[in-house]
Amino acid sequence: MVRRCLMLAGIVLWLLPGLAAGQGETAGQNDPKTRQMAALEAGVDYIEVRKGERVLELYRDGEVLASYPIQLGKRPEGPKRFEGDKRTPEGTYRIGWRNPESSFFLSLGITYPNEEDKAYAERYGVSAGGQIMLHGMPNDTEYRKEVFNEPNWTNGCIALRDHHMLEIWRAVEVGTPIRIKP
């Protein structure tokens, strides 16, 4: 019980730095983290992922609101082509759904495969795959320990640290475009 109270107090202090310092409602507005959180609460226009740089950025009105380090599929070079190829897709998709009960800390579904992806796989007589997500770290603690510092460990998804995923979860709506670049 004491542990939960301390954790809750820490969260309140992190979210409300001005009020925690007793400086009134406008305190903390010049704090970069406070400004970033306020901007994220207003929502984003699109997400951009640059696989080679291992970065995900949230944009509104052409401006970067936030930038996060990411982890990718076990074979990060090149676009996803087939189910089981362990690659992260490249192209323009949308956030298709939200899953708060994922095997990972929150997940946002990416609308892979698109028609082009399906047609490519069909030419080879195989499935393009699916279930590509933005997600936090594994909920299974042993699996989390195993992959925490690995740069490429997913089956094609884009993984983030849990606190970053929580920020993204709060800022991104279903339907938001996501551009995944090499």
Confidence of residue 72 (pLDDT cuts 50, 70, 90): very high
**Can you give 111-159 as a three-state secondary structure string?**
CCCCHHHHHHHHHCCCCCCCCCEEECCECCHHHHHHHCCCCEEECCCEE
Region 45-66: mean pLDDT is 96
Helices 32-41, 162-171: crossing angle, 10 deg rounding: 50
Task: Please state whether the predicted TM-score (pTM) of the whole model is above 0.85.
Answer: no
164 is catalytic: no
Q: In whole angstroms, give the CA distance from residue 159 to residue 56.
A: 10
Q: What angle do CA 145, 137, 131 make, to 5 degrees?
A: 125
Say if residue 176's pLDDT is above 70: yes
Where are the domains positioned within the chain? 1-28, 31-181
What number does CATH give the domain 31-181? Answer: 2.40.440.10
The residue annotated as part of the active site, out of 5, 157, 163, 164, is 157
Over residues 139-164, the pLDDT tens digits come to 999 999 999 999 899 999 999 999 99
How many residues would you count in the chain? 182
Over residues 85-130, the pLDDT tens digits come to 999 999 999 999 999 999 999 999 999 999 999 999 999 999 999 9
